[in-house]
A and B are shown apart, each in its own frame.
Chain A
Amino acid sequence: MPRPPPNPGGYMIRFKEYMESIVFFGKGGIGKSTIAANISVLFAAKGRKVLHVGCDPKRDSTLSLMGRRIRPFNEQGGSTGEEALRLSLHRTIKGIDCIEAGGPQAGVGCAGAGIGAMLDAIKDSSLIEKEGYDTVVFDVLGDVVCGGFAAPLRRGFASKAVLVVSEELLSLYAANNLISMVNNYARNGVFLAGLVVNAKDPAAVKLARDFAKAANTRVLGVIPRDPAVIRSERARKPVVALEPRSEAARSLARLAGELAAAGMPASPPRMLGEAEFEAFMNERPLPRAARSAAPAPARENRKARVAASVLLERSGFSMTGVTGGQVVCAWKGGGDTFRLFIAPASDSRPAMVGVGDWAYCFLPGEGPGSNSSRDAFLAALGEISGLRFDDFISAFSGGLDFYGNVDSFGKTSSHPLMPEGGRPVEPYLGFGQWQRFLFSDSSGICIPPGSVMVEHGDNECRFSGCSQTPLNTFQKIAGLANDSTPSLGPLLPKEERLIVTTDFLYQDAVNGDEKKIAAALKAAAARTGPGGLVEFYTGCAPLVLASDVSSFSDRAARDLGVEVLRENFNSFCTETPEKVRARSAFVVRRLSALKRAKKPLDVNLINFGGCREPLSALLGSKGLALKTWEEEFYSDIASARLQVLSAADPVLTAAFDQLGIKWAAPGAPYGAAATGAWLRSLFSALGRKSPKEGFGPARKETEAVAAGVKRLSRFAAGFVASPEEIGMLEGSWAVSGVPLVSFLAEAGLALRLFVYAADRAARTLAGAETAALAARTGTKPRLAFFDSPGGLLKALSGDRALRLVYSDIPLDPRLAAAGKSAFSVSACEPGYEGAAETLRRLAQLCEWDFNERYFRTKSV
């Protein structure tokens, strides 16, 4: 098979005609540095201008060339870029320029990152062009343990790769893996020049030659074990310079000639499969399956030009998600439905069944339920066996029409609902499907004042949060806990709400972040004080480098008298059992430390944001004593007989239960009925009699509500939802706890549900969910279905009474195109006075014709 021509984008490729760039790989301790250094000397002796690059944190590649260790690139103090490069360059007496990437102390930091940074600097500064090198030799650390060590290949520096092997079987094992890496980066213009055998045993040389043949490559040279090499190493000199007549020196000279002459092979080498490699090592004939496994055959399906998505659909497969590198796929056929994971064959797990370049397994607890369904599944599998893994990904993402396939998620949004009623992930996945009309509430569990959260992350992490503002594209500024007067624009993050950032930097990655972790923990412990709580969140960059947080956090806990909780990512508000326990325990410690005093107040409102003021006024009007402002979180709790929560927060409720503190979190008081119920609950929890004037609204409020109801009675309000979302429309987190359906019904609005349902099963589920909602709220929502954006637009446009449609996207253009007004829970205010204002707002939106007049799509 002819290879495609090298892509002209590779960095070195444009110099290739007059330039040699060779990279040596191989198992650790196999003699790479010795061979590489001698090759540099031999090329320099031919009059070439050579740059020798050591990519090993041991920085011993240039030892024999320089006769001493040189200061590496990553230890040039405050110098960066070209300045650091120039300081790191050292010239030998033979005129070879040497540079070492260097690296951290063994076991800390990331040497790969350092190598990458040095190569970036070489590229950015055009060092090679400026200095006119015509040969660059890279000597890379042992096994390529991470992408950082493949940097010469990744960044398009190398044109010829050489794998050094010996008589050790593991060296061939490493070489076999390295072949896969070289092939992966062939797109950058690199090719495998061949193997170099550094061995004394003729049998080992034969083994290497046999391996080379099996892997479709060749042996470039054999370097015998020669005492001259040991002597030259002791003398810190290359053997070709110290003992040029030795056998080793002569072999190296031959190798240099072979290397210079090596051209791109006609066909690429191939990595032996695991079984094939094992068979090879056991000197057994290769299994037939293994022999036939490599190079993928031409695919019939491709020939027939049947689109992968069509073939998959025809065979009963639908893509439902991508997790990690795997596709989650549902199969329906033979009277059965189940899901399977599909992964690249190279990533497959032992339980997976291989098919071409991909493999599959069933999701736990799923799979064919009968022999007939198994047969049907296998037949369907046969239909798609010619597909490649890429085809699954493409089908998932809508194929060529990337955004056109609404149904590829089976949802009307870019984020599938989490199972078992969990919250959906943020509306940001961006695989291009429709955004939901209903977003999750951004509030999480209570962060107790006085605790400190440390985010161990980089500057991008620091800017990964944005406050809710009136101009955000997607919004959820609603509910009891939200601030009704959000900031006008995003604020400079972070160090807010007790969250502090360590600003993890490049040099922490290369040299290790231990000192930073220790300093951050110490500073955080000082802020929270003895008995305090420090939550340490490790961000992605330190996670990649496996930063050692545990030993430091244990020491901080022991020495500084604080509790340290370790978490990953910036999941500050995410609820986990351990976090709830630690935060509750901290609240208990803080409250226990307060002196017991009389409780002069009836209630204390906790986490009511901007709703605190109107609800305090409401409670005051009914005769309850409370503070209308928040003074100090813990002493406020201690001063009241009843703690009223905006939601049953698990942190606070656990702490209150432990301390015997009375609390209540009744349903949110939105609408007249819900407000009355809220008041009754609080009085009941306090053991107080009803107020003289009762729990109902004042006369003025009653009149205002009645006026609103009258204005709204000729209109309808609707929701666009998936079947699973229907149950969330009343009082759930999805509507910020607002009993929205009941409130709208109370307002006199007729209710509509526009449900995305592409098949009968979804319509059946939607019907059942709607019936349940109707029973729960005493309403009669009218149900309509759609299965495409166009279908929804038509359904919305055709309903004349419908004026309001729910969306958490302000002024949602999808609704404007239907001439409708978007509304959301952010329009809802609590209490009786709030109910009247909410009805006024909704009526105003119903009567508003801006969208109808200017944005309505005429041709539906």
Chain B
Amino acid sequence: MKDISGQKAFEKTFQLPYLLGVFLGLNAVKDACLMVDGANCVMVKADLIAGNHDLFSTLLSESGRHRIICTMWTPVNPPKNPEKKLGAMLNSVAGSGRFGAVLLTGLPYCWLAGMDYEGLARSVVSGAPVTAIPAKSMDQDWLDGYDMTLEALARALPEARGKKRAKHKVALVGYMFDRNEGDHAANLKELTRLLKLSGLDCVSVWPSGGTVAELARVSGASLIVSLPYGRKAARALAKKYGAGLLETGLPLGLKATSAWLAAVRRAAGLTGNLPPAVLEEEREAARTIAPALRALLHKKALFAGDPRLYSAFSSFAAELCLSLPLVFLDSAHRPLGGGAVAGSVLFGPSPEDVKAARAALSRYELPDLAVVNSFALTEGFAEGLPFVEFGYPSYGHHCLADEPFLGFSGARVLVSRMLNSLQTRSKAGPAAGNRAV
């Protein structure tokens, strides 16, 4: 239950809704379909991803073959038994042969009306597997929605009885694959490459823009590496397939990447230090970054975005001798990772809260740079600051070519982006104002 005691009437909130997380999860599995029980207003959320954030999204289709289908159940003149139609639609979609899995959830009012999504999903016995994502919109946010979606996909996978799991095969579960662009493609290439270099074989990344069948390769992993965006799915998969489980943060930055690789190696049963080639890569990346530090040293950055990314970014910031005096996170309150640097941290602030927090900074706390997502930019959180658009959503920054932000390559790219932003002094503008809703 959210605590709203301190909330003023009519504020905007920098907190994204549950179903947006569900849509992001769906966007990352190209042959999954989502049936949303409720009115078609839910479809508009796809525009917050498809096209605007992800140029290669297949959530919507010019042929009408959207991967999101809604039932058009509304509270005005509802059918006596809305489950009847929903059940028939589910059977039809599952039997279409077009999808690797069908997910089912509902808008909050359908949940209030007591729809039995789990039961309905189980009642579909042929065609693609159907699983329900709990309709938790009224008390959870987008990060929960993403996690729940991955967990539902984990339930959709078949058991793998008797399947042998080779040693040193790992799967990364809980990656935030929010778009099918060059940033994430390059991240996955980088992580897979570094794991290989460390003596490990990455058999599956959850999710990675592939198909449900590709997700099923997770059953071949002897170790599930749980990344922060899909803890539930990672636990479920480790239990389902009898694999080991290691919960980690994101390998963002030089030290964090090496530490991450070392932890994964240990958990996978490899002994000894990281191979020299990996350590050499770390040193090489440090040598590349070093000249840029002249511009970054002692700088202060404002961060606005998701808390998982913040936890990872903050430790990298410390590595670069950057500090983060002001942090705005776009979710409900949740524990931050150990790497998070102390500063003023606000969860789900309104634009007014942000203004007040910026005004309260002392002269020497004023940020020089902003690392923010698009909503923070358009709401003026970073007004007057050079900025790097980072995380979901990034409506103003697209990657048609490889542009990682994880691993050693990612560290170089991220530093390069911050440096260029500082040097070009291209500054964020004021709030977008009263534009369209």
Contacts and interface: CB of A to CB of B under 8 A. Distances in A.
A540 B38 contact: yes
Contact of A469 (B44, B379, B395): B395
Contacts of A468: 436
B436 A497 contact: yes
A155 B109 CA distance: 17
Contacts of B43: 426, 428, 430
B47 A466 contact: yes
Given A147-B115, A503-B7, A506-B1, A491 B96 contact: no
A502 B11 CA distance: 8
B19 interface: yes
Contact of B41 (A7, A343, A461): A461
Contact of B10 (A500, A540, A570): A500
A501 B10 contact: yes
Nearest to B93: A402
Nearest to B395: A489
Contacts, number: 323
Interface string A1-18: 000000101100000000
Q: Which of the four size classes fits the interface of chain B?
A: 35 or more
A523 B9 CA distance: 7
Nearest to A814: B62
Given A151-B114, A544-B75, A812 B435 contact: no
A487 B1 CA distance: 35
B31 to A, nearest CB: 13
A205 interface: no
A33 B297 CA distance: 69
A344 B85 CA distance: 9
B63 A112 contact: no
B69 A187 contact: no
A472 B108 contact: no
Contact of B47 (A151, A324, A490, A544): A490
A21 interface: no
Interface string B53-80: 1010000111111101110101111111
Contacts of B108: 458, 460, 540-541
B416 interface: no
Contacts of B319: none
A778 interface: no
A506 B81 contact: no
B437 A496 contact: yes
B276 interface: no
Interface string A413-450: 11000000000011011111111000000000000000
Interface stretch (B117-125, B183-191, B255-263, B418-426): B117-125
Contact of B84 (A116, A151, A344, A474): A344
A611 to B, nearest CB: 16
A473 B61 CA distance: 8
Contacts of A497: 434, 436-437
A232 interface: no
B92 A400 contact: yes
B109 A540 contact: yes
Given A9-B118, A489-B378, A402 B92 contact: yes
Given A458-B108, A464-B44, A491-B378, A431 B69 contact: yes
A494 B116 CA distance: 31
Contacts of B436: 465, 467-468, 483, 486-487, 491, 496-497
A774 to B, nearest CB: 29
A183 interface: no
Nearest to A459: B17
Interface string B182-214: 000000000000000000000000000000000
B391 to A, nearest CB: 13
Interface stretch (B134-142, B218-226, B244-252): B134-142
A483 B433 CA distance: 14
A519 B9 CA distance: 8
A489 B52 contact: yes
A506 B114 contact: no
Given A394-B92, A397-B92, A398-B92, A347 B79 contact: yes
B92 A399 contact: yes
Which residue, B64, B89, B116, has most C-beta atoms of chain A within 10 A?
B64
Contacts of B12: 492-495
Interface residues of A, number: 116
B139 A494 contact: no
A464 B42 contact: yes
A462 interface: yes
A540 B75 contact: yes
B65 A540 contact: no
A390 B10 contact: no
Contacts of B63: 403, 434-435, 789, 814
Contact of B70 (A428, A502, A520): A428
Contact of B91 (A347, A394, A506, A541): A394
A393 B89 contact: yes
B230 interface: no
Nearest to B61: A435
Which residue, A433, A435, A809, has most C-beta atoms of chain B within 10 A?
A435
B112 interface: yes
Contact of B3 (A78, A150, A413): A78
Contacts of A397: 88-89, 92-93
Given A78-B3, A505-B139, A495 B11 contact: yes
A369 B162 CA distance: 67
B50 interface: yes
A38 B56 CA distance: 62
A635 interface: no
A402 B436 CA distance: 35
Contacts of A362: none
A345 to B, nearest CB: 10
Interface in A630-656: none
Contacts of B14: 492
A680 B265 CA distance: 80
Contacts of B134: 120
Nearest to B47: A466
Which 4 residue pairs spanning A and B have beta carbons closest together? A147-B114, A489-B395, A325-B79, A467-B436
23 contacts: A10-B122, A153-B116, A154-B118, A344-B81, A346-B80, A394-B91, A403-B63, A426-B40, A472-B51, A488-B396, A489-B53, A491-B432, A492-B375, A497-B436, A505-B138, A506-B139, A520-B10, A523-B10, A541-B107, A544-B112, A544-B113, A568-B76, A812-B62
Given A325-B82, A483-B436, A539-B109, 17 more contacts: A146-B113, A185-B119, A187-B119, A403-B63, A403-B96, A459-B138, A463-B45, A466-B47, A472-B47, A490-B47, A492-B12, A494-B12, A496-B437, A506-B138, A507-B2, A519-B9, A540-B38
